A and B are shown apart, each in its own frame.
Chain A
Amino acid sequence: MSHPYQCVLHCHQAGQVESGILVFASGPYIHTLSAQNGRYLSTWPSLENTTQTRSTGQNNGNGLEVAQLKSSPQDDSERPSKRQKLSPARDESCSSSAEIVVARDSDNGESSNSQQPLNPPVIKLAGTSAGQHVIAVTGEDKCIRVFDLAATGILTQLSERQDTMPKRPCAIILTPDDSTILCADKFGDVYSLPLVGQVFETATFNGIDANNTSRTSDQKHKQKPFAPSATSLTVHTKGNREALRQQQNIKNLKAEKKVSNLDHKLLLGHVSLLTDVACVTLASPSHKPRNYILSSDRDEHIRISRGVPQAHIIEGYCLGHTEFITKLCVPTVYPHLLISGGGDDYLILWDWPAGRMLQQLDLKSLVANLRNTKLGAGKLFKGSAKVKDAETEVDIAPRICVSNIQALEIYTELSGHPRVEIIVTCEGVPALFTFTLGMNAQMQFSASIHTESNVIDVTILPNQSSVIYSMDTCHQAFSTDASADTGKQGPRSLVGSLIYDTDSKTWEENQALQANLVAATRECADSQLHVPQAGAAKGKSLRELLYGLESLRKRGSENETDV
């Protein structure tokens, strides 16, 4: 059983004639493949001698520099810092598939042999527009890694920022000039980080130059002894008074620990879990470019802020969603338009500089139609028609959750204005939904493209008018929890690719690429079988990795009076 690709990304390197490189994240591994012919290129961390590279990587990355970083703001006598929540190597979650159980057993054996556990799974991938760098986020350890992407597809880790992020990153993008990473987190804050940070270099000089500011403020903080900010005048209840009396008796209480903020800057924040960010450049009245940051959250807001360095100024909001938002998409050729989706039954097309809703596009009925035609036919084989009816009635209700929205520009020879194909995927739905966005800022549904398995992630290949998508082979189509019985269906492919035919204006399978991609992914999967997969998600954790967005939906809380 091979691990599905939870993230796919296409990087096109400026100046290269070839169509760039595809970057696939499979559990803790990152594979690179050629976008030109689908050939397998490389894997990070290296598969042949994983444990060895891991340990040397530890020495380079953590042993020297990171250790110094860690030790400087912390004192030995202080309280131990909060333990990271890492999922145990032994996965307790139930899995009904025999293959998964077997895989887990063998993993346990191997992981106990090798003391070096792998990284947690990658949750986000981002690439610079120049295609030179790839940024990978692993969720459980809140680590942001920046890689150099060579034309040969080999990834070289440039930096690993583990302790900088206070909360788990939820979305990661780059500013249009490729110099800065914007990272939105679970706590609602957006931070900026330099893409190529000097943090580790300066830290080795004992933090004399670049870290001066944070260090002095750190010392200043230390010099001030802790004093409770409450007084007998501000607390009144018996319990609180007692707590205050105890605090006042403690003489040498250390000051509260400061979060080290060596290279990340807080730009803006919502009081809600952030789900996506976008960075857009518009022409100003003075014809100079203006940057904006768009951020979406779980509480139905899309905020429009000015770009760095004025990100603290809110220009407006796009309000109209009634459920959590998961994805923002701004087409490059129409930068004043925004397509957003999430837990609502529809997508919204916005004129975002004006905060105006232009269109609502129904998505739920598209999913329901597809489900009825595909699943209805399939169930006839299984049981009686009655069961099918009852089940489909229940099945019509499920809510949808948009997992990805991508825009692909289609240039036709006749007109200078490109059409934009919008590709939308939903969690646990084996389909790509395509819409056409024209010059008149009107969006129209064009097709539902049924796929073999649930689509997980999708990326576009602009210069080939193609899309590449990854699929979930572990679960049944239309289901996010039922394991797939592979025995009946035979091997399913992990990836698929489509190409847009400008003549017929339809999407077709990109056959040339597809065959090579499937072969290459088999190659990846086969080589992966021989190495420890302690970091690979299974069972419940795999489900959370692949389908984590639906859990953002609010439940009506029952005991709300006492909160």
Chain B
Amino acid sequence: MTAAGKRQKREDYRKTHKEEGNAELPKKKFYRQRAHANPFSDHRLTYPASPALMDWSSHYPAFVAPDTQSVAKDHAVVKPLTKPVTVADIGCGFGGLLVALSPLLPDELILGLEIRTQVTEYVEDRISALRSQYADRSPRLYQNISCLRANTMKFLPNFFTRGQLSHIFLCFPDPHFKARKHKARIVSGTLCAEYAYVLRPGGCVYTITDVEELGEWMRSRFEAFGNSGVGGEDEGGETGEGRTEGMFETIELPEEGKEGEWVDEGGQKGLVAMLVRCIREETEEGKKVTRNGGKRFVSVFRRREDPAWPDEI
């Protein structure tokens, strides 16, 4: 089929999908897009100039604060929500994790961020279909998840304020095998600073990949961050002087298949185990790894409190 014909077919499909009250789940084949995006290019992104100017009301209509006047800020009208977004799935892909997290974290607002337009659109259609499917049975379900297109490597602080997030998921990121491309990886010594900024102390970063080398890379970056430095071993990082504790601590995790026992224990440990099981089994890529009989490398890092200023020590 010609490219033009294919595009026409996609447009027709999406149009009819929207018209039919979109209760039916969208089909992935009409939303395929090349798996890699260049994080350094400008794209044509829309993002708020600052988190205060972000209007979340269209994303979480069930959580718009009632009885409050819209707050006008610098020509933009922002309807405040009853609670802030606290969970971010960076690179959410086709949204498998979002959908799985919705019932698991019913009291949190969960946002998927994806750089590819087509895929973002799929997730938006998927969520709206799920919302209308469950509108009668359980009207709160899937109201707490949403998705938007963003380049988080550049614009994460435009969406979230300092310490706003409790959980960040980095699931099956682009491995960027070539050393020349390592700067494009979603985890780098310098980007850890931004994750630490948006994450509250005690909040966690969950990483999973099927590439062993990338898993080690991510672990070494988070463990070295604020300890042996920004850069990690081979980025020419700042060497630590008298600092032994990094900004992130690596959390002990249950083995694959044994998460249930931990979940039963409850508490913080149980929550982490539940979410780890979720990224192992519920993400689209996680399912693919299971199908192919591959391996999964999971690490979870908890953010520590900011260290004291040098003058306070």
A residues near B (Cβ < 8 Å) are: 187-189, 191-192, 213, 217, 221, 228-231, 233-234, 256-259, 261, 264-272, 284, 286, 288-290, 299-301, 303, 305-306, 308-314, 316-317, 319-322, 554-557, 560-563
Q: Is the CB of B44 within 8 A of A217?
A: no
User: Within the complex, what minimum Cβ distance (angstroms) separates A102 from chain B?
Assistant: 41
Chain A residue numbers with a CB within 8 Å of B39 are 271
Could you say which residues of chain B place their CB within 8 Å of the CB of A305?
Answer: 193
A268 and B190 in contact, given A320-B49, A557-B43 (Cβ under 8 angstroms): yes
Q: How far is the CA of A284 from the CA of B237 in the complex (A)?
A: 27
Contact of B238 among A187, A267, A299 (CB under 8 A): A267
Other-chain contact of A217, B162, B233, B293 (Cβ < 8 Å): B233
B20 at interface, CB cutoff 8 A: no
CB distance from B114 to the nearest CB of A (A): 14
Which of A187, A258, A267, A556 meets B230, CB within 8 Å? A267
Residue in chain A with minimal CB distance to B236:
A261
What are 13 pairs between A and B in contact, CB < 8 Å? A228-B177, A229-B211, A233-B292, A261-B236, A266-B190, A266-B230, A266-B237, A268-B193, A305-B193, A314-B162, A555-B42, A561-B33, A561-B117
Q: How far is the CB of A46 from chain B (nearest CB, A)?
A: 35
Question: In the complex, which residue of chain B has the Cβ closest to the Cβ of A236?
Answer: B292
Closest to B312 in A: A286
Q: In the bound complex, do residue A290 and residue B311 qualify as a contact, i.e. CB atoms below 8 Å apart?
A: yes
Minimum CB–CB distance from B85 to chain A (whole Å) comes to 17
Residues of chain A within 8 A of B226, CB atoms compared: 312-313
**Interface with A: B21-29, B86-94, B153-161, B272-280, which one?**
B153-161
Q: B231 at the A/B interface (Cβ < 8 Å)?
A: yes
For the complex, what is the distance from the CA of A175 to the CA of B197, rounded to whole Å?
24
Query: In the complex the two chains form, is B230's CB within 8 Å of A562's CB?
Result: no
- Residue B72, interface by CB 8 Å: no
Closest chain-A Cβ to B186's Cβ sits at a distance in Å of 10
Binds A, one of B61-69, B263-271, B302-310: B302-310
State A189–B182 Cα separation when bound (angstroms): 14
Cβ of B123 within 8 Å of any chain A Cβ, yes or no, is: no
Say yes or no for B170: interface residue by CB 8 A criterion: no
1/0 per residue, CB under 8 A from A, across B144-181: the answer is: 00000000011101100010000000000001010100
Residues of B within 8 A of A (CB): 33-34, 37-44, 49-51, 74, 117-118, 153-155, 157-158, 162, 175, 177, 179, 183, 188-194, 196-197, 210-214, 225-226, 229-231, 233-241, 243, 247, 289, 292-295, 306-307, 309-312
B10 to chain A, nearest CB (A): 11
In the assembly, what is the distance between CA of A278 and CA of B38, in Å? 29
Residues of B within 8 A of A560 (CB): 43-44, 117
Interface core residue of B42, B43, B236, B247 (most chain A CB under 10 Å) = B236
Is the Cβ of A229 less than 8 Å from the Cβ of B229? Answer: no
* Alpha-carbon distance A317/B231, docked complex (angstroms): 22
Contact of A272 among B154, B196, B225, B293 (CB under 8 A): B154
**CB-CB < 8 A to B243: which residues of A?**
309
In the complex, the answer to whether A217 meets B210 with C-beta atoms within 8 Å is no
Knowing A234-B294, A269-B230, the reply to whether A264 touches B311 (Cβ < 8 A) is no
Partner of A234, one of B153, B188, B191, B210: B210
Contact indicator A230/B191 (Cβ below 8 Å): no
The reply to whether A313 and B196 form a contact with Cβ atoms under 8 Å apart is yes
Instruction: Please name 9 further chain A to chain B contacts, defined as beta carbons within 8 Å, in addition to the given A221-B234, A301-B157, A557-B42, sorted by A numbering.
Output: A230-B177, A233-B293, A266-B230, A271-B190, A272-B154, A284-B312, A290-B309, A313-B306, A556-B44
> CA separation between A20 and B166, bound complex, in Å?
54
B34 → chain A, closest Cβ, in Å?
7
Residues of A within 8 Å of B309, CB to CB, are 284, 290, 306, 310
Return the contact of A321 from the options B49, B157, B310 (Cβ within 8 A).
B49
Q: What distance in Å separates the Cβ of B173 from its nearest Cβ neighbour in chain A?
A: 12
Q: Is the CB of A562 within 8 A of B229?
A: no
A455 vs chain B, min Cβ distance (A) = 29
Q: Which residues of A contact B293 (CB under 8 A)?
A: 233
Instruction: Give the residues in chain A near B240, CB-CB below 8 Å.
Output: 309
**Known A284-B309, A310-B309, A562-B34: A265·B237 in contact at CB below 8 Å:** yes
B42, B43, B191 interface centre (most CB from chain A within 10 Å): B42
Q: Please determine whether B229 and A266 come into contact, CB atoms closer than 8 angstroms.
A: yes
- Closest B residue, CB atoms, query A244: B177
How close is B201's CB to chain A, nearest CB, in angstroms?
12
Contact, CB under 8 Å: B43 / A563: yes
**Contact residues in B for A268 (Cβ distance below 8 Å):** 190, 193, 230
Contacts of B44 in A (CB 8 A): 556-557, 560
- CB-nearest residue of chain B to A316: B162
CA distance A312 to B239 in the complex (A): 12
Given the complex of chains A and B, what is the CA–CA distance between A258 and B233 in angstroms?
11
Bound complex: CA A192 to CA B74 (Å): 38
For residue B235, give the distance in angstroms from its CB to the closest CB of chain A. Answer: 6
B212 interface neighbour in A189, A229, A563, Cβ under 8 Å: A229
Which residue of the partner chain, among A217, A269, A301, contacts B190 with CB atoms under 8 Å?
A: A269
Whether A256 lies near B211 (C-beta < 8 A) is no
Assess the B236–A317 pair: CB atoms within 8 A.
no
Q: Closest B residue to A306 by CB, please name it.
A: B309
Closest to B41 in A: A563
**B239 touches which of A191, A229, A265 (Cβ 8 Å):** A265
Question: Which residues from chain A contact B213 at a C-beta distance below 8 Å?
Answer: 229
CB-CB under 8 A from B239, the residues of chain A are 213, 265
A161 to chain B, nearest CB (A): 13
List, in ascending order, chain B residues with CB within 8 A of A319's CB.
49-51, 157-158
Report the separation of the CA atoms of residues A376 and B192 in the bound assembly, to the nearest whole angstrom. 53
**Which residues in B have their C-beta under 8 angstroms from that of A228?**
177
Q: How far is the CA of A233 from the CA of B190 in the complex (A)?
A: 30
- A309 contact set on B, CB distance < 8 A: 238, 240-241, 243, 310
**Are A264 and B49 touching (Cβ within 8 A)?**
no
Contact B307 A313 (CB under 8 A): yes
Chain B's nearest CB lies how many Å from the CB of A387? 36
User: Which of B118, B175, B193 contacts A229, CB < 8 Å?
Assistant: B175
How far does the Cβ of B51 sit from chain A's closest Cβ, in whole Å? 8
- In contact, B306 and A266 (Cβ under 8 angstroms): no
Q: Which residues of A sit under 8 angstroms from B37, Cβ to Cβ?
A: 563
Residue of A nearest to B310 (CB): A310
Return chain A residues, CB-CB under 8 Å to B74: 320
A312's partner among B118, B154, B247 (CB-CB below 8 A) is B247
CB pair B50–A265 under 8 Å, yes or no, is no
Give the contacting residue for A271; candidates B50, B153, B179, B211; CB below 8 A: B153
B48 to chain A, nearest CB (A): 8
Residues of chain B within 8 A of A555, CB atoms compared: 42
Q: Which residues of B contact A311 (CB under 8 A)?
A: 230, 238
Q: Judging by beta carbons under 8 Å apart, are A189 and B211 in contact?
A: no
Closest chain B residue to A318, Cβ basis: B50
Collect the chain A residues with CB atoms within 8 Å of residue B51's CB: 319
Complexed CA–CA distance, A189 and B239 (Å) = 16
Tell me the smallest distance from the CB of B199 to a CB of chain A, in Å.
11
Q: Is the CB of A233 within 8 A of B196?
A: no
How far in angstroms is the closest Cβ of chain B from A306? 7
Minimal beta-carbon separation of B198 from chain A (angstroms) = 9
Nearest CB in chain A to that of B157: its residue: A317
Q: Are B311's CB and A266's CB within 8 A?
A: no
A258 to B183, CA, bound (A): 14
A-B interface, 9 closest residue pairs, ranked by CB to CB distance from nearest = A269-B190, A261-B236, A229-B213, A319-B50, A288-B311, A233-B294, A256-B179, A266-B231, A314-B197
Chain B contacts for A284, CB-based, 8 A = 309, 311-312
